[in-house]
Chain A
Amino acid sequence: EVQLVESGGGVVRPGGSLRLSCAASGFTFDEYGMTWVRQAPGKGLEWVSGINWNGASTGYGDSVKGRFTISRDNARSSLYLQMNNLRAEDTAFYYCAALRSGNYLYAFDIWGQGTMVTVSS
């Protein structure tokens, strides 16, 4: 079964850090581009970051540039998002998604179920 399972969410204080993980199974992970998308409560989808199949190319949304870092470990079929200097406006469900194209700039074929991040004092 094709599956993406996010973990690592939780409650963190403003200025704090958190590392999200996404475990992939059921498909050839090292052929897929990967991405993170977030959704604030009651709001729409916002692209956070993407990485191509071998990690050589990455991209970030303007609201997280310089604070978040995306990475992947193809040997472990895992995607990561290191989030530093967190702000209240980073509070959201965080979803990982996979792209068959191998790039991170294309349609998202597979989605996870998300993990919640709450930034609050």
Chain B
Amino acid sequence: QLVLTQSPSVSASLGASVKLTCTLSSGHSTYTIAWHQQQPERGPRYLMTLNSDGSHTLGDGIPDRFSGSSSGTERYLTISSLRSEDEADYYCQTWRTGVVFGGGTKLTVL
């Protein structure tokens, strides 16, 4: 069964970097995922598509402070030079016969 697992919450300081993790279920290490950001009281926003080899494509208008990387079944989203507006929920998404979302990670910027 295709499942995405994310840590419920993470915190980091203003100006620092943070790395969020999305873990694919066993046997799905070749899957491509997408990362989405949801700021408080807003609809989600597409950030990037991330392949199993770590190559990634940023969405339109997404700054290069956002980057992605991969290792095995792990998919990472790194945000550098954290700003207050980066405080949001972050969801990973993948697909096979249907679409699957991770449970989301709430990022708090201190």
Which residues of A line the B interface, CB within 8 A? 2, 35, 37, 44-47, 50, 59, 61, 95, 97, 104-114
Q: 8 Å CB contacts to A: which residues of B30-75?
A: 32, 34, 36, 38, 42-46, 49, 59-60
Question: Which one of A50, A61, A95 contacts B43 once the chains associate, using CB atoms below 8 Å?
Answer: A95
Question: Which one of A44, A59, A110 contacts B91 once the chains associate, using CB atoms below 8 Å?
Answer: A44
Question: Which one of B59, B97, B99, B103 contacts A44 once the chains associate, using CB atoms below 8 Å?
Answer: B103
A111 touches B43 (CB 8 A): yes
B99 touches A50 (CB 8 A): yes
Q: How far is the CA of A108 from the CA of B33 in the complex (A)?
A: 10
For the complex formed, measure the closest distance between the CB of B28 and the CB atoms of chain A, giving whole angstroms.
14
Report chain B residues within 8 Å CB of A107.
32, 34, 46, 49, 93
Which residues of B line the A interface, CB within 8 A? 32, 34, 36, 38, 42-46, 49, 59-60, 89, 91, 93, 95-104
A46 touches B43 (CB 8 A): no
Listed A/B pairs (15) with beta-carbon separation below 8 Å: A37-B101, A44-B89, A44-B103, A45-B44, A45-B91, A45-B101, A50-B99, A95-B44, A104-B99, A105-B99, A108-B44, A109-B60, A112-B43, A113-B43, A114-B43
Q: How far is the CA of A48 from the CA of B98 in the complex (A)?
A: 9
Report chain A residues within 8 Å CB of B98.
47, 59, 61, 105
Query: Which partner residue on chain A sits nearest B45 by CB separation?
Result: A111
Query: Which partner residue on chain A sits nearest B47 by CB separation?
Result: A107
Report chain B residues within 8 Å CB of A105.
95-99
Closest 9 CB pairs of A and B: A107-B34, A47-B99, A105-B95, A113-B43, A45-B101, A107-B49, A44-B104, A111-B44, A111-B43
Report chain B residues within 8 Å CB of A45.
36, 38, 44, 91, 93, 101, 104
A46 touches B101 (CB 8 A): yes
Report chain B residues within 8 Å CB of A106.
95
Report chain B residues within 8 Å CB of A110.
46
A108 touches B103 (CB 8 A): no
Report chain A residues within 8 Å CB of B43.
95, 111-114
For the complex formed, measure the closest distance between the CB of A49 and the CB atoms of chain B, giving whole angstroms.
9
